[in-house]
Amino acid sequence: MCEGAELLQELKHRVSCCIDEAKAKLHSLSTDIWSCPELAYQERKSHDRLVEFFSQEQGWKVDGHFTLDTAFRASWTAAGGEPVDTVDTVDTVNVGFLCEYDALPGIGHGCGHNLISEVGAAAAVGLKAVLENTARLPVRVQVTVLGTPAEEDGGGKIDMLREGAFHDLDVVFMAHPSKEDAVYLPCVAEHDVIIKYHGEASHASAYPWKGVNALDAAVLCYNNLSVLRQQMKPDWRLHGVIKHGGVKPNIIPAYSELEYYLRTPSRSELPVLEAKAERCFRSAAVATGCEVEVEFARNTFDNILRNTTLEELYEKNGKTLGMDFTTDEDVLKNESGSTDFGNVTFVVPGIHPYFYIGSNALNHTEEYTVAAGDDAAQFFTLRSAKALAMTALDVLLCPELLQRVKQEFTEAKRKEHTHNSL
């Protein structure tokens, strides 16, 4: 147990109380975001609502449109209030909380990003309320909240990383709604790709030999990729759709388009799958005589670089609050989706736990949209925020824990780099 253990336990109790005291305005924040679902890079109302929320909280320095039009930054520094990057930061620890708030097309907040925003805001506001009334801190502290758009499509965090938005953070936290409590679920590396085939139109009955069939190229591409699955590693994934296949049956299609997602457990394997898939794309063009455009998305989503020190702290804190963490191996080992938070974990040590919201509905469904806006989700959402804030207190009041977090981060990056070099 770290030095000042008594103070630590007292502060954990107080941060929980502070979050409870703010529950009405936090619920209102979440509800407002849920009620106006906005797609990636278009989250203007959500951005404005979050900027307003922190601007109305005393002591926060708020920057709207921070690095991206719908991103923001809110920061508070203990003792003096100067921004971290304007002072000697040797003894300053900057803890970050992330808010996501983009929605899904057609179904709104079926991934519960309104609750992610609420968790980030609650943890930050609760932590700040406790720290500003605590004089015996071993380090100077900054609490930072980053609003990170476009997680569902595009990768706003990756854009923000490119602009240096995370450069001064020491550790970063966020929590994602799910149908169970889990300190970690495997999130894989992922890259989107659009494949466009250009052929030549002709009358499909009168002059078919004059046409170059772009739909045939798309079908061959689709089948090539399906055959490729035989030779893929069991934990690799590729899946996609034909988005455009022609206009009318009696016109040879002059244009076709497919969209695919390529996924591997680690970012080091993704280029290998990309190269194999690209041969499938291009061979279909050769076979049909079409021209092909292969457009990989600007941002590649990395796998999450785990930090078990932070995970263990979060689990311990969560259990004191009554969380029942899943032990189902099918859940814990099932590599599923992808997140741009993975890219963050290669720059700053962090965690991305999952929390139950009182529903067995699956993410990305209309049922989950309803659950994410239900009052019943509030208890579980604030409980996760408390666990994050308590974990932040652990690393702030126990310098040896923060050192361990950073050492593990460095070692994990070294192992990943070694694996990349093999």
Q: What is the pLDDT of residues 265-320, one digit of tens each?
A: 999 999 999 999 999 999 999 999 999 999 999 999 999 999 999 999 999 999 99
Pairing of strands 255-264, 176-178: unpaired
> CA-to-CA distance for 372 and 361, rounded, in angstroms?
10
Same-domain pairing of 332 and 408? yes
Give yes or no for residue 210 having a pLDDT over 60: yes
Last residue in a domain, options 296, 314, 333: 296
> CA-to-CA distance for 371 and 362, rounded, in angstroms?
10
Same-domain pairing of 353 and 378? yes
Domain count, the chain: 2
- Give the CATH number, domain containing residue 291: 3.30.70.360
Give yes or no for residue 85 having a pLDDT over 60: no
Segment (H or E) for 259: strand 255-264
Taking the chain, what is the end-to-end CA distance rounded to the nearest angstrom? Answer: 40
Give yes or no for residue 135 having a pLDDT over 70: yes
Give yes or no for residue 84 having a pLDDT over 80: no
What predicted TM-score, i.e. pTM, was given to this entire model?
0.92
**What order do you get walking across the sheet with 255-264 strand by strand?**
237-244, 255-264, 189-198, 291-296
Phi, psi of 124 (to 5 degrees): -70, -45
Same-domain pairing of 309 and 161? yes
Same-domain pairing of 175 and 277? no
Same-domain pairing of 145 and 206? no
Strand blocks (E) in 132-254: 140-147, 171-173, 176-178, 189-198, 237-244
Q: Which residues are bridge partners to 98 per DSSP? A: 146
Instruction: Give the residue numbers spanning the domain of 156.
Output: 5-187+304-421
| pLDDT tens-place string over residues 218-267 | 999 999 999 999 999 999 999 999 999 999 999 999 999 999 999 999 99
Phi, psi of 101 (to 5 degrees): -155, 15
